[in-house]
A and B are shown apart, each in its own frame.
Chain A
Amino acid sequence: MKFIFFFTLVLLNFISCGEEEERPEQLDRLRVIGVKTNPPVIIFDDLSSITDFELEALVSVPKDDEIIDQINFVDDSFLFTQTIDIVWNEPVFLEEFSNLNLYLIKGKIDLDSLQDNQQYPDLNNDKLEEISSYIFRYGLEVKTQNDNEIVVGNFIVSLTENEYQNQSFNIDITNPIDESDYNKEEEIEIKMNLEKSVEEEVKVIWFTSEGKIENPRSKETLLTTGTGEGKHLVLVGTYGKFGYLFNYDFVSINVLP
């Protein structure tokens, strides 16, 4: 019964969000969009043979701002999971748009520390569904001149063969076409294609540098371009709920004067 009222509240909350509310799909401030792990899952027995385990954070920074620091963050508020330290490198420039820049920030994990048995919490608390796996939590704090953003996430160290191991989502934006022209405040159908090499619950999130997206969580929806002209970003990210697989695709559109 409690659920009914909780969700009524959620609904009221949703209904009360007007059109003019801040929109999470608009990349108008420093944002970390997602983090890829490579490989997606570490097999415990392979730890000694793996030479590289890398994290890659996709970051959007407003044009008038710049990254000044990227440091490890320990999320000790998160319960029942171990945290692990990451060494984060300088950001790598990816692409420029009219009002933002995209960067990649890469991080490396000390694999020796993963082999330390002390790192592994009680298995009963942290197993995935029918899989004997450990979950580790990483964190990154990105600082710019005007803003800062903390991002956290998990990766899996599996004791056995894992269904998410060496898997990924292949995604591509089928509409709009890269570098196509549109007018200001024009309604565009945006679509993406998603191929999953593993059965997984996936969240889809659309982002844009300017404009409004009708339902940013749907594979097919509508984008209304903004009032500014120039090269705009349309990006889609996919987030695997249990295997923590992340992938993204983006196109640019030209909004005409």
Chain B
Amino acid sequence: MLQKYIFVTYFIILSIHSTRADTSNTALDKSTSLKITILEKGSGRKLKRVEVSLGEDIFYSDKQGEVLLDRNKIKGAIKFYRAGYNSLSIEEKDYQDTEKINIFLYPSQPGGNLVTIFGEGSTEVSKKEISIEEAIEVAPRGDPVQIIKLLPGVQSNTFGPRVIVRGSEPSDSKYLIDNFDLPFVYHGVGGISVIPPKIIDEVDFSTGGFSSRYGEATGGIISIQTKKNIPDKASIDARINLPLYSSVFYEAPLNKNSAFSVSYRRSYIDFFVRRFLDEQKFLVIPTFTDAHLQYLYKKDSTSLKATTVYSRDTLELAFPGDGADEDGKIEFDIATEFFVSGLDVEKKISTDWKMRASPHIINTSVFNNFQNNYVKIWGPSFRTPFTFQKRLSRSEKIKFGLDFQYDYVKVDIKVPRIRRDSAFQDFEEGSLEKVQTTYEEQEYAVWSQIDHKIGSLILTPGLRAYYFSKIDSFGIDPRFTVVWGFSKSTEFKASVGKFSKSPSPQEIDPTFGNPNLNFENSYHYIGGWYEKWSQFWQSEVQLYFKSNKNVISSDKEVRYNNSSLLQSYGFEFFLRRLNVDRLFGWISYTLSKTEIKRGNSSWVPTRFDQTHVLNFVSFYRITGQWGLGFRLNYRTGERYTPIDYAVYNANLAKYQPRYKSEDENSKHLPDYNQIDFYTTYDFLFDNWKLNCRLGVEFISFTKPAYGIKYNYDYSKADFLTGLPPIPYIEIRGEL
């Protein structure tokens, strides 16, 4: 409240002084005046509302960052002050012989757009806000989308590019950009997100109990929102990251209502790899590329974004191994590519009505060749989500929407048929299947949700109904959230709901799967306590229980059936120091258990079961240009299934492990810890800046284990360790 009072008072004073300054400015003759233009050092951006002190007189810069002063009244030093910038003073000798002067102020605290991280429940009530500057400072490699990996409720795995939310399979979560579906958000190399950081405005992240607006997900929702505002001026951002990638980003206003942006990024690990590896012995060449093009229009109550995002990951791999052909090598050539293109239109129809439509097309292709096998899957999906919102009264708001999706996928594969969920399935041993087919599906969904405020309670009941043509099945998912604002600094939240997901095309394919499968259902039960302790500190505690039914898995008799159960439960703690001072960051801790019960067998841990996950993230701003960052990740080692004994397969000339079903994921690797240190420095020039980010990743107290390796006949086991501390440097020029 105090902050709000100060803020309002500040603006009242500001407007009075601005009026005074403007009035005096217009009366001045230019030949007897001094025109001062105040700009931001490093970007050349004109700064309005800068306080200019001349003795006891105070003036404020206008929208053009200009102040016009009467030369006859100027005597002595002129001081410049604006919150977020270092104060500056100029002496009489600096301006006495000139009519115009440019003043550059050095930033003391970064400002900027907000990355919004949502928790459970009503999105407006339980959201956490992290500025995009903060996200860029603390996230791995300065990539705001990767900040999700540092939050509670997220299990980590060192090499996995996707997000594991509360024990769910990565494919159980949904990834969106401006309401458009994304097949994935992270590249295979370095976990870099496929979206350039410069276009990101918000990242909405829900770990469960999410809105009825979202279907086809039982894990979490990761939704990226791109910037909504027209930029003031054209800018270019070029970045060189060693050893990973280089990128270039450009945005420019077309007029006061529209703008466009474009970017391109490519990794160059392949160049290093070719230099350092002996290609005759083994070869591994990963690459990634991404690009985007966006047109933004904003006028009055309408905003429109036309966005195209492209991403491509490849891996070329050849090495001598068990599956080698007569030339003694196993060869893989893998390419995954997608582009998403669509329109996202938001319109305020009237005072009470709003609508959003986001029709888009996603074209995905997966081309994998390994030895004499191949997988070619490609085709478009078309999706049209519509959302309507009406304010019914001061305390009641209804949202509802329609969702239609049409998928057309071509499949041309020659692969061994294996069980996806078997720990030791040997792809060399599956019977070889050759299939050429097309896959077509329509999905229809309607949903509704009401936010109803009663005193300090906000009740949000919701319902989602859906139909999938491929399995010819309907479903209804009811959801309910309640938020109780106990006091201005304390909130309690609870949520319960049903969430469903249809089987994947592979699972219902007549050759590779079971056409009789039905939806997987997940029931979420969540309770939480949010507390804002001071302007610096806030905390959140959550308890959750997730019960999944009709989980798809295989047994000896039937490949893929709905007979398994999965449950995950845990405790999450989030303590955060806000970005209002030199030091900010957080501690997040998750204690959880995730188990699966296949048919009539007993409960066993899943491969994503991770008892403890602790993240400590901090950034200290030494000056406005120089900062130091630190991240620590500690987690329980990943699960694995111990081997009972091994047999020699005389057909394949190799040993194969055998295990007991009751031992599935019964052991885990040694606990993992990782420390990352880095520093950032901005070299500021008048109209552009050079940002350097220098750091070392993968420092650890003990040698981290990433997996388990066996000798050729599985009689000896050892932990797969490696990855020494990796130094990196990123240089970014912003004009």
Does A47 reach chain B (CB closer than 8 Å)? no
Shortest CB-to-CB span from B51 to chain A, Å, is 52
Encode contact with A along B686-721: 1 for CB under 8 Å, 0 otherwise.
000000000000000000001101011100100011
| Contact call B434/A219, Cβ cutoff below 8 A | no
Encode contact with B along A120-163: 1 for CB under 8 Å, 0 otherwise.
00000111111000010001000000000111111000000000
Does A91 reach chain B (CB closer than 8 Å)? no
Main secondary structure on B side of the interface with A: loop
Residue of A nearest to B327 (CB): A218
Does B319 reach chain A (CB closer than 8 Å)? yes
Q: How far is the CA of A167 from the CA of B721 in the complex (A)?
A: 46
Q: How far is the CA of A130 from the CA of B160 in the complex (A)?
A: 36
Residue of B nearest to A58 (CB): B650
Does B184 reach chain A (CB closer than 8 Å)? yes
A13-B332 contact in complex given A1-B184, A32-B648, A152-B647, C-beta closer than 8 Å: no
Q: Interface-forming stretch among B70-78, B122-130, B485-493, B651-659?
A: B651-659
Give every chain B residue within 8 A of A215 (Cβ-Cβ): 320, 328
Question: Contacting A16 at CB < 8 Å: which of B184, B188, B720?
Answer: B720
Give every chain A residue within 8 A of B328 (Cβ-Cβ): 204, 215-219, 221
Does B315 reach chain A (CB closer than 8 Å)? yes
Shortest CB-to-CB span from A222 to chain B, Å, is 12
Contact size class for B? 35 or more
List residues of A (183-236) whose CB comes within 8 Å of B's CBs. Answer: 194, 201-205, 215-219, 221
Give every chain B residue within 8 A of A194 (Cβ-Cβ): 326
Give every chain B residue within 8 A of A241 (Cβ-Cβ): 428, 651-652
Q: How far is the CA of A113 from the CA of B707 in the complex (A)?
A: 44
Residue of A nearest to B510 (CB): A124
A152-B648 contact in complex given A11-B319, A22-B712, C-beta closer than 8 Å: yes
CB contacts between A and B, total, < 8 Å: 155
| Contact call B313/A1, Cβ cutoff below 8 A | yes
| Contact call A1/B326, Cβ cutoff below 8 A | no
Q: How far is the CA of A31 from the CA of B654 in the complex (A)?
A: 11
Encode contact with A along B155-196: 1 for CB under 8 Å, 0 otherwise.
000011110000000000000000000001000110000000
| Contact call B431/A4, Cβ cutoff below 8 A | no
Give every chain B residue within 8 A of A5 (Cβ-Cβ): 159-161, 188
| Contact call A1/B720, Cβ cutoff below 8 A | no
| Contact call A3/B707, Cβ cutoff below 8 A | no
Does A237 reach chain B (CB closer than 8 Å)? yes
Question: Contacting B434 at CB < 8 Å: which of A1, A4, A130, A202?
Answer: A130
Does A9 reach chain B (CB closer than 8 Å)? yes
| Contact call A14/B319, Cβ cutoff below 8 A | yes
Give every chain A residue within 8 A of B720 (Cβ-Cβ): 9, 12-13, 16
Residue of B nearest to A244 (CB): B651
| Contact call A128/B432, Cβ cutoff below 8 A | yes
Does B368 reach chain A (CB closer than 8 Å)? yes
| Contact call B434/A153, Cβ cutoff below 8 A | no
| Contact call A201/B653, Cβ cutoff below 8 A | no
Give A residues with C-beta under 8 Å from B.
1-5, 7-17, 21-24, 31-32, 34-35, 57, 73, 75, 77, 79-80, 125-130, 135, 139, 149-154, 194, 201-205, 215-219, 221, 237, 239-242, 244, 246
New contact pairs (14) apart from A151-B647, A202-B326, A239-B653, CB-CB < 8 Å: A2-B160, A4-B334, A5-B161, A7-B334, A11-B284, A15-B722, A35-B650, A150-B646, A152-B648, A153-B650, A203-B324, A216-B328, A218-B320, A241-B428
